[in-house]
Amino acid sequence: MQKFYDDSDFLLKDPVSKHIYENFAQRLPIVDYHCHLKPDEIYKNKRFEDISELWLGKDHYKWRLMRANGIEEERITGNATPKDKFMAWAETIERCPGNPLYHWTRMELQLFFDIKIPLNRKTAATIWEETSSRLGAKGLGARDFIAQSNVSVIGTTDDPLSDLYYHQQIKADATIDTQVIPTFRLDKLLTLESEELFAEIFDKFQQECLTLTDYLAFIKERMNYFVANGCRSVDLGVEQVLWKPILTNPAKTFEALRHNEATSPEEIQDLKTHILLEIIELVYDLNWVFQLHFGAVGSVNQEALQRLGRGTGFDTIADQGNIANGLLYLLNQANNRHKLPRTILYNIDGTKNVVTETIAACFQDNEEGIKGKMQHGPAWWFQDTLRGNYRQLEDMAEQGILMNFIGMTTDSRSFLSYARHDYFRRILCNCLGSWIMDGEMPYDEAFVQDFIEAVCFKNAQKYFGIENR
């Protein structure tokens, strides 16, 4: 029987896997190319009063589990004391073997606080005191967690109307070694029915954008501003993959919207498709990466939305139907224009892995000689589990070239989520180790080292055009 979370052997089921992890993967830098950390918290080296603020303040993954364990909302997002909320989390997590948060909780305690006992009701008071002694106004801050994790690059997710002030401050601060790079989050610019969007544009930039030509010119200005601040990527999240041939007049639809005239759902969808294709062309011209997340539906519990607001843990997977038609239309349109950029496809539904893989494979041809131009993104959200990661790696290997994969990213708001990179690396090392032990690949030490370094670090660095400092 293996000891629970023995950090030398955790998830490493044979001597080869352990050797690969300890010698090639464990100490590699991290390129976290997509996350939701706040640049102001990095710049200010935000400190946390206690483990409850650090862990539970905005982690909807944990909130979901606590509700499933019958914890009252007062001790989740309500006005209970921080210690009471932490005790509620301890009461919950001890019941969760098999859930990734069960592993991540244990890993984060050890990696960042050197606590080697599991969290449960019996140990909660001790762990509260131990973590409290290391936090607070003079304790560990955001930059400390980043440095402890050996993070080389952080790709934040940024409002396209942002002035990127804190990115500029971070870049100018010689004490911050990690590169913090903005990402142009596109979703907001496609909420064309929103009067608030155009009111904000006018308020900040004194531009009315009354025609589609003007709006596209404004978007180009914004993207060029992001270029000047180091951006290398656009990110878009959609619930449904709905792209199809444009049969209406996008310019007329846009002007109708801006003048509060009636439009049909088909006209709105055509307009959004047109704008997206124009933006994808700009992404290609700027030599950026296009990241596409699809299939997540947020805040589906209507009563909870009214009571608690968005982003509070009531999210699910969309019934995606035939995603192939929409993806193929979008990618073909960009490719027919010879403007298909490096693209990462994130599917939230694991049953769509092979569909995603085979679609990506149809667009890998490129004059630039890019290995893995079309990427199947890492196991995301509800797939980011032990089984989900194994399934994703195996599907990638079966349908393409796993060695060209750009590896894990946290997609998280937590400074402790870098434990997930270690989780992924252990899974990857065990995957290769099992293939070697089963005689499915030879054990060539130099090749295996190249493989691990490529997937865990170097591929992402090259894919996003990031230079070493």
What is the reported pLDDT for 1?
60
Tell me the sheet residues that pair with 438: none
What is the reported pLDDT for 469?
64
What is the reported pLDDT for 368?
87
- Residue 415: which residues within 8 A CB-CB, separation 6 or more? 37, 41, 54, 142, 145, 146
The Cα–Cα gap between 132 and 129 comes to 5
Residue with tokens 């002007």: 255
Residue-by-residue pLDDT tens, the chain, 469 positions: 667 767 789 999 999 999 999 999 999 999 999 999 999 999 999 999 999 999 999 899 999 999 999 999 999 999 999 999 999 999 999 999 999 999 999 999 999 999 999 999 999 999 999 999 999 999 999 999 999 999 999 999 999 999 999 999 999 999 999 999 999 999 999 999 988 999 999 999 999 999 999 999 999 999 999 999 999 999 999 999 999 999 999 999 999 999 999 999 999 999 999 999 999 999 999 999 999 999 999 999 999 999 999 999 999 999 877 899 999 999 999 999 999 999 999 999 999 999 999 999 999 999 889 999 999 999 999 999 999 999 999 999 999 999 999 999 999 999 999 999 999 999 999 999 999 999 999 999 999 999 999 999 999 999 999 987 6
Tokens (6 digits) for 175? 């004490």
Stated pTM of the model: 0.97
What is the reported pLDDT for 5?
65
What is the reported pLDDT for 171?
97
What is the reported pLDDT for 15?
96
What is the reported pLDDT for 320?
75
Q: At 60, which helix (H) or strand (E)?
A: helix 60-68
Domains and CATH numbers, the chain: 15-46+141-463 (3.20.20.140), 47-140 (1.10.2020.10)
Q: Strand order in 342-347's β-sheet?
A: 184-185, 233-238, 289-294, 342-347, 374-376
What is the reported pLDDT for 319?
84
Question: Residue 211: what are its φ and ψ, rounded to 5°?
Answer: -120, 160
